[in-house]
Amino acid sequence: MLDFAAQYEAFRRRDPAWDGIIFVAVKTTGVYCRPVCRARTPLARNVSFYRSAAAAERAGFRPCLRCRPETAPFCPAWKGTKTTVERALTLIEGGALDRGNIDLLTRRLGVGSRHLSRLFAEYLDASPLQVALSLRVRRAKRLLDGTDLPIRLVAERAGFSSARRLNAAFTRLYGRPPSAIRKPVSSKTRTS
């Protein structure tokens, strides 16, 4: 471990490189924090450093309610609402909105549809349905480029409810139907 002065300087700068490596306990408040905590920096004489949250707790300190040091950096609880968006994206990529609707997705995530829409707007500048449509179009484009499947099967395998929906999405995005986008496929990569 580095000396006290180096640790305190990193804490004073709120250096993210130290996050999860040291924990800062404040003797006057009985609270311990992560080095990136936005709370006011205490005087050096009132601070002690620990290698883990458990060590700070064993010494009698309680976790800060602002920076939540009891959660390790980069774990789901530490990332907060971003974790909900990541979980939603994983479910959407797995076809949750191809086979279901927003209400089913939000129930699986344990949030409301309005809250999920706000989170998607904050992190992705798009709605969950727009993300799902973009993924479907990307899947369809890969199938069009790499296979000679009929448009109806491309639509089905990409997650569209019908070939008409696939045509509408491609026309809106590319200004032409999927058949006009299809690349010629060599005989070795053709599938049926």
**Residues labelled as active-site residues:** 33, 37, 64, 67
Radius of gyration of the CA atoms of the chain, in A: 25
Residue identified by tokens 């180096």 is: 6
d(CA 95, CA 140) in angstroms, rounded, equals 13
d(CA 181, CA 138) in angstroms, rounded, equals 12
- The pair phi, psi for residue 189, each rounded to 5°, is -100, 0
Q: What is the largest CA-CA distance in the chain?
A: 76
Residue 27 burial by Cβ neighbours in a 10 Å radius (0-12, 13-18, 19+): middle
Three-point CA angle 52, 55, 57, nearest 5°: 110
Strand partners, 50: 23
| Percent of the chain that is helix, strand, coil (3-state, to 5) | 55, 10, 35
